Amino acid sequence: MTEPATLTIDQVDLPQLDALAIGAAFLGTGGGGDPYLGGLLAASAIKRHGPVAVQPLHTLEDQAFAVPVAMMGTPSVMIEKFPGEDELDAAAAAIERRHGRGASHLMAAEMGGVNAMVPLIVAARRGLPVVDADGMGRAFPELQMVTFNVYGVPASPLALTNETGEQVLIEAEDSRQTEMLARSVIVALGGACAISCYAMSGAQARAASVPGTLSLAHAIGAAILDGRRQGDPFGALFQCLAHSPYYQHYADLIEARVADVDRRIQGGWTQGACRLEGYGADRGRTLELVFRNEFLIAREGGVTRVVVPDLLTVLDAQTAEPITTDGLKYGQRVRVVAASAAACMRTPAALAVFGPARFGFDEPFVALERRPDHVTRGVQA
């Protein structure tokens, strides 16, 4: 048996993009933007400028200068107003000017959806490598919700740019305040912007990042694609998760139809809830999902089954194609899969920044594998 999750990649070229986009959509847990769009944008940049080298986190030199770039705002806006290479590059350039030094590496803040891809766009354009790491191994709706912030790197200074060339530089006291300021600017700038922040040295990056997540996203996507060819995408996905360093505890929650979607563009996010009604073996069961860009919590009959920072993803029941929160449609047949977050995402310090309370859920974090109702169907972990 191969262990796909241990496969690392050392460059991203066109053949890697399909798997990377699907894997990033899985880790995007419903948010992070339309992975198809991210794939198209990265493909167009790589076609123009060539492939992007991927450097393992542990080989990053102390004096390296890693610059994260991302899209921030409402995913539902990005499917109409596509992120552009110019504004992404301009955001990175503004941060480089502010720090007085040029980037040696680009980096993802979140390895989910479009945001797994946008660093590749700038890296391809500049001919620079990307770091095989991010700040969460998933996606989150707020800026301060990253391990960078938890482990000592501030979000500020932060640059925002949009398609009309408008640019805002934010200097704030802490990362939470940076988020609040950036969020209000984003609403004024149209709901989604290119950003750059958390620029850091190689030494800082090694101490404050989740390593190997670009390769992991690729491995997960490759497993789903491979599984589809073999006729069992979920089996392949579970096999891959079971052998991964972070996501080895997973739950195959329900197979269901989307019975209701209540979704709003609000405060710079796509927010709402979705009700799933089980069919087949799951007939009679109902699962409620609450989301803010990302799926945050799954409840069944009022009882929490999975909560952030553990991962919660909705996939097409046939193909295991991840479905984003803005792609949810009434009547879709889906399967919901949850997975454990990396250990550094579950520490008290980390939970203080992105635990359930930070999303307004009045309950402590309980790891999904420690819940009394935890069942792993499908492949055994």
Helix, strand or coil for residue 220? helix
- When asked if residue 50 is in the footprint of other proteins (CB under 8 A), the reply is no
Distance of alpha carbon 269 from alpha carbon 294, whole angstroms: 10
Q: What angle do CA 205, 209, 210 make, to 5 degrees?
A: 145
Stretch that binds other proteins, among 104-112, 136-144, 293-301, 330-338 (CB under 8 A): 330-338
- Strand pairing class (158-161; 130-134): unpaired
Q: Which residues contact 48 (CB under 8 A, 6 or more apart)?
A: 124, 125
Stretch that binds other proteins, among 71-79, 209-217, 243-251, 371-379 (CB under 8 A): 71-79
Tell me whether the omega of the peptide bond preceding residue 68 falls within 30 degrees of 0, making it cis.
Answer: no
Compute the least distance from the CB of residue 191 to other proteins, in Å: 5
Distance of alpha carbon 306 from alpha carbon 310, whole angstroms: 7
- When asked if residue 332 is in the footprint of other proteins (CB under 8 A), the reply is yes
- When asked if residue 15 is in the footprint of other proteins (CB under 8 A), the reply is no
Strand partners, 255: 335
What is the pattern of x (binds other proteins, CB under 8 A) and - over residues 274-293?
--------------------
Element housing 14 (H / E): helix 14-27
Compute the least distance from the CB of residue 151 to other proteins, in Å: 34
Exactly one of 74, 156, 293, 340 binds other proteins (CB under 8 A); that residue is: 74
> For residues 190 and 161, is the Cβ–Cβ distance under 8 A?
no
- When asked if residue 363 is in the footprint of other proteins (CB under 8 A), the reply is no
Of 107, 118, 178, the C-alpha closest to 145 is: 178
Task: Spell out the long-range contacts of 231-237 with Cβ–Cβ below 8 A and sequence spacing 24 or more.
Answer: 233/319, 233/320, 234/315, 234/320, 234/335, 234/337, 234/378, 235/378, 235/379, 237/26, 237/320, 237/337
Compute the least distance from the CB of residue 323 to other proteins, in Å: 8
Of 294 and 326, CB closest to other proteins: 326
Exactly one of 2, 11, 184, 318 binds other proteins (CB under 8 A); that residue is: 318
Compute the least distance from the CB of residue 66 to other proteins, in Å: 24
Phi, psi angles (nearest 5°) of residue 359: -110, 10
Strand partners, 67: 106
Of 100 and 331, CB closest to other proteins: 331
Exactly one of 7, 98, 101, 163 binds other proteins (CB under 8 A); that residue is: 163
Stretch that binds other proteins, among 106-114, 325-333, 350-358, 360-368 (CB under 8 A): 325-333
* DSSP code of residue 81: S
Distance of alpha carbon 89 from alpha carbon 274, whole angstroms: 36
Compute the least distance from the CB of residue 334 to other proteins, in Å: 7
Q: What is the dihedral of CA 359, 362, 365, 368, to 10 degrees?
A: -90
Residues 171-210 interacting with other proteins (rule: CB under 8 A): 190-191
Exactly one of 10, 262, 363, 373 binds other proteins (CB under 8 A); that residue is: 262
Exactly one of 5, 16, 28, 36 binds other proteins (CB under 8 A); that residue is: 36
> For residues 123 and 154, is the Cβ–Cβ distance under 8 A?
no
Element housing 292 (H / E): strand 286-292
Of 263 and 371, CB closest to other proteins: 263
Stretch that binds other proteins, among 106-114, 153-161, 173-181, 258-266 (CB under 8 A): 258-266
Stretch that binds other proteins, among 56-64, 142-150, 311-319, 349-357 (CB under 8 A): 311-319
Compute the least distance from the CB of residue 54 to other proteins, in Å: 22
- When asked if residue 17 is in the footprint of other proteins (CB under 8 A), the reply is no
- When asked if residue 41 is in the footprint of other proteins (CB under 8 A), the reply is yes
Exactly one of 136, 310, 326, 344 binds other proteins (CB under 8 A); that residue is: 326
Q: Which residues bind other proteins (CB under 8 A)?
A: 34, 36-37, 40-41, 43-44, 74, 76-77, 79-85, 163-165, 190-191, 231, 260-266, 316-319, 321, 323, 326, 329-334
